[in-house]
A and B are shown apart, each in its own frame.
Chain A
Amino acid sequence: MATRQPYDHSVFLNIPFDVTYEPVFLAIIVSLVAIGRAPRCVLEIPSQGRNRLDRILQLMMDCKVSVHDLSRIGTPARFNMPFELGIAYALRTLKPESEHLFVILENKPHSLASVISDMRAYDPIAHENKPLRAISAVLDSLGPSKGFSAQEVHSLWKRLGRASRKLKREAGAKSVFTRTVFNKVVAAATEVVRSANTSL
């Protein structure tokens, strides 16, 4: 049965903080907002002296679903994303009442099979670093049967991309992976989706 609790709607994003990943990141954010879910990321929480891993764990426990993008774990090896996927798996297994669910994204189809074959059973979805593919992946795994199409969300992504460039410039930031810009980008995503909903 559908519920409207923040926990059920919150989706934790375990993604690479990499400037070249921004288009896919924005695509995931706008897709989640378009299907009425709240994208959560460690960026939103001020550190306040707390360990980053503690913040990640707490945030993941506040989210019913997590999205783990392992498309950039290649050379140089980056272990943060697989490590956080391990946390999600442990949460799901050791704390079954949380009913935690996760979606795994990869770059090319079956590319994870050789590096983390244990996760093959969870059907990673390949986005090939293409925003439209990432949008389809989110809609396919978490979207309702009705609602925005992938192409419609793709046009929202373009609007969000333009706005995010301006927000970065205003903040003097090189990427959206800062708390100030991230919060504004998510706010922009809600606004872009709201205006699309009202114009339907």
Chain B
Amino acid sequence: MRKVSKRANERRTSVARKVVTSRSQAFYAVPKLSRRIHVVAPLSADEIREVLNISKADLDAARRAIKATE
């Protein structure tokens, strides 16, 4: 069996401890992997307007406001 000096052994232990520490920190730091409660195929912008009954006048006003503030 290879003889390992006391100092080298301490160094290896210290490295191992650091790894363990960072893993445990990662375990506690990372929140839940997913909070997702519901998934649906996304609607397009046009479909969303249809669902919300957005009038052409409102859409035109919105477009003008966006253009004026770009």
Q: Which residues of A contact B (CB under 8 A)?
A: 2-4, 6, 8-10, 33, 35-40, 44, 64-65, 101, 103, 123, 125, 140-144, 147, 159, 162-167, 170, 183-188, 190-195, 197
Contact = CB atoms under 8 A, between A and B. Distances in A.
B35 interface: yes
B52 A186 contact: yes
A101 to B, nearest CB: 5
A53 to B, nearest CB: 22
B69 A163 contact: yes
B17 interface: no
Interface residues of B, number: 31
Contacts of B25: none
A184 B61 contact: yes
B26 interface: no
Interface of B: 32, 34-49, 51-52, 54-55, 58-59, 61-63, 65-66, 68-70
Contact of A125 (B35, B44, B46, B59): B35
30 contacts: A3-B41, A4-B41, A8-B40, A33-B45, A36-B40, A36-B41, A36-B42, A36-B43, A37-B40, A37-B42, A38-B51, A123-B35, A125-B35, A140-B35, A141-B37, A142-B37, A142-B38, A142-B39, A159-B69, A159-B70, A162-B69, A163-B69, A166-B69, A170-B65, A183-B52, A190-B45, A190-B46, A190-B54, A191-B63, A194-B46
A4 B40 contact: yes
Contacts of B70: 159
Contacts of B45: 33, 190-191, 193-194, 197
Contacts of A6: 51
Contacts of B42: 35-37, 144, 147
B35 A191 contact: no
B69 A4 contact: no
A64 B32 CA distance: 23
A56 to B, nearest CB: 17
Contacts of A33: 45, 48
